[in-house]
A and B are shown apart, each in its own frame.
Chain A
Amino acid sequence: MKRLFLVLILFLFVQSVVACDKRPEVKILAPGEYMTEETIKAFSKKHGIKVVIDEFASNEEAITFIKSGAEYDLILPSEYALEQLIVENPEYLKKVDWNKITTFNKETDLSNGLDELLNNLKVDSGFDLLEYGVPYFWGSVGLLYNSEVVAPEDVQQGWELLRMGDKYNVAFYDSSRDALMTALVTLGYSMNTNNEEEVNAAKAWIEVGAKKGVGYLTDDIFDEIPNKNYDVAMAYSGDAAEIIYRVYDEEIDLQLDFVTPEVGTNIWIDFLAIHSSANEENVYKFLNHILSYDGALENTRSLFYASPREDVRQGQIRTASTERIKELYTIDFREQDEIFRFDPVSKELIDNAWNSIGVRRQGKPINLSTIIITVVGGVLVVGVIATFIIVRRKRR
């Protein structure tokens, strides 16, 4: 009987843990650590609505979750993922009713550059992402490097720097799109190509570099760079800004710089989109919050990506701690830069190429000195222990 009682208590305990909060909630499918606690708390406090974030590690993963029927109020995909959903599964989305957005005017409040970007996209392809999404953060992709170690002439080489694994410690971003992008762009192709030969050429380009020793980073970049484990790494502009800030703030002895190669790079925009199963009332409350000046500002407290609101972005520029960080809030969309588009053929080619590289990853070729040191070290250790034990026995 006592045992049954115990089980019952535990069961109730679990129930209480599970069904803790009965407040209304807004469920968002978003990348990890991509929304500040400050802005979330501000929203919850004002409206009494809880914000729950389900995290995904990559856009592909997010799309799989959505397609498997999971329900959310909002999702936070990148532009190409949003495009994929619009094209393939519009039933999971609801269009944005901009009349209900009162804190943000999409004609006038968009950040400089972002408005052009979205407009060009609409004009070129008839595709208006603003129909389905509310712009979130945006930025570019570039090379974050230790300017004391990497020679300027090598920096000039742009993405080629990633193939200098024998000279420096370099790292790709561990994502098929971003990595293949560097190769395609350097070879003069479009990063959205669906031409198999071009992708194969890009793959070969990367493989040459991989042989010399290359690392692959995602979120661990935030620790690996300040710890000087890498001299050069592919990074998103917002991540680079955060890292540079951290190095500055913690007074780490490291000179970092960021460059978007001349041959071109990827400009990205993330969107908040409304899921078909959303509670519209709560959702528009949240959207109005995150797009408002205060909400957007709070969202930049610990995140360093460029805000979609021009006034907030100007604030980011004003309060930037260093020159470098300031520059990272201005995203320059040059002739040679591109936005990712959704193309199933391209996606498959790129994913396959990345898989092919991925299964063959090796570490840096081990050099002779390491082997010698290891063996000598091992023998020494064994010898010392053996001597110790023998001496102890003899003493008995």
Chain B
Amino acid sequence: MNKNIFRNVFLFIIYGLLYLPIISMIIFSFNSNNSFTRFGSFSLKWYVALFRHEKMMQAVLVTIVVAIISTIISTIIGTFAAIALSKQKKVLRNLTLMANNIPVINPEIITAISLFVLFGIFQIPKGYLTMLLAHIAFSTPYVIITVYPKVISLDPNLSDAASDLGATPFQTLTKVILPQIKVAIGAGAAIAFTMSFDDFVISYFVTIGSGVSNISTYLYTLKRAIDPKVNALSALICLVIGLKITYDYFISGPKKIKKERLKG
């Protein structure tokens, strides 16, 4: 009994501390004045201001569009690569997997600088294109990490049965393999999307000097420390994430524990 009390108190405090900044931010997004220490009265004016603010909305748009496109591309490329890798000779496969891990293990700033240098040397103008390329570059490895384990755990007999029954390799791919790894692909896509949506360091270095910014880089350059529109934006993002969590918890339940483990 004692142990349980201690455990619950601990959990309560830590989770509380963890969410305190977020909750405070949400509360103050409804503040009528623009202070973060004194609450005036309830007001939605910052939400209105947020939607009116062209640059911020543009940043949101860029973030979403880049996230969607880079997720689609990296998921497709990564999934295909994972499947192809599983059929390769051991040496090449292991080498590729090792190389694949480089951007995953590297601190972001190193990936960021290497891409900065690359785009500089080949005189590629920084902007949408470079951001998209960069996001694809760092998302694809994560897709492979997620999908590959599932691919190699598949039962080879099913594919063999398919080709015995006359299926072309393409048909085997689309009708046998892909459906089986659907869940892993979904998980990979989710990770790719999150990594792209949240990205700061890499996006910052590859769009420096261009007018293009995503949410993170825009907020960063907005050195104006206090802008309650930021709170409004964050509250909205939290709302979306909150909905996702609720969906995960109530609809899917314990299955999600496994998904989080892969994400970890």
Report A-B touching, CB under 8 Å: yes
A-B contact pairs, 7 of them (CB 8 A): A52-B211, A68-B120, A70-B209, A223-B226, A227-B226, A385-B13, A389-B5
Q: Is the CB of B224 within 8 A of A55?
A: no
Q: Is the CB of B211 within 8 A of A11?
A: no
Instruction: Flag the segment in B65-73, B143-151, B255-263 that touches A.
Output: B65-73
**Interface mask (B201-218 → A, CB under 8 Å = 1, otherwise 0):** 000000011110000000
Q: Which residues of chain B from 122 to 173 have any CB-CB distance to chain A below 8 Å in the complex?
A: 123, 125-126, 128
Q: Is the CB of A220 within 8 A of B68?
A: no
Task: Tell whether A54 is near chain B: CB-to-CB under 8 Å.
Answer: yes
| B223: A residues at CB distance < 8 A | 57, 218-220
Q: How far is the CA of A386 from the CA of B9 in the complex (A)?
A: 6
Q: Is the CB of A224 within 8 A of B209?
A: no
Q: Is the CB of A385 within 8 A of B12?
A: yes
Task: Tell whether A14 is near chain B: CB-to-CB under 8 Å.
Answer: yes
Q: How far is the CA of A13 from the CA of B120 in the complex (A)?
A: 28
| A386: B residues at CB distance < 8 A | 5, 9
Q: How many A-B residue pairs have CB under 8 A?
A: 64
B positions within 8 Å CB-CB of A: 1, 5, 8-9, 12-13, 35, 61, 65, 68-69, 72, 120, 123, 125-126, 128, 208-211, 221, 223-227
Minimum CB–CB distance for B183 against chain A, Å: 17
Q: How far is the CA of A68 from the CA of B69 in the complex (A)?
A: 28
Question: Which residue of chain A lies nearest to B65 when distances are taken between CB atoms in the complex?
Answer: A14
Q: Which residues of chain A from 256 to 287 have any CB-CB distance to chain B below 8 Å in the complex?
A: none
Contact of B125 among A17, A55, A70, A393 (CB under 8 A): A70
Q: How far is the CA of A119 from the CA of B223 in the complex (A)?
A: 36
Q: Is the CB of A219 within 8 A of B69?
A: no
Please name 19 further chain A to chain B contacts, defined as beta carbons within 8 Å, in addition to the given A70-B125, A219-B223, A220-B223, sorted by A numbering. Answer: A7-B72, A10-B72, A11-B69, A18-B128, A56-B209, A69-B123, A70-B126, A70-B209, A219-B224, A220-B224, A220-B225, A223-B226, A227-B35, A381-B13, A385-B9, A386-B9, A389-B8, A389-B9, A390-B5
Contact of A17 among B35, B65, B221, B225 (CB under 8 A): B65
Contact of A54 among B68, B72, B209 (CB under 8 A): B209
Contact of B5 among A10, A69, A393 (CB under 8 A): A393
Question: Which residue of chain A lies nearest to B61 when distances are taken between CB atoms in the complex?
Answer: A17
Q: How far is the CA of A53 from the CA of B209 in the complex (A)?
A: 10
Q: Is the CB of B12 within 8 A of A10?
A: no
When A385-B13, A393-B1 are in contact, do A32 and B69 touch as well, CB less than 8 Å?
A: no
| A56: B residues at CB distance < 8 A | 209
Q: Is the CB of A222 within 8 A of B211?
A: no
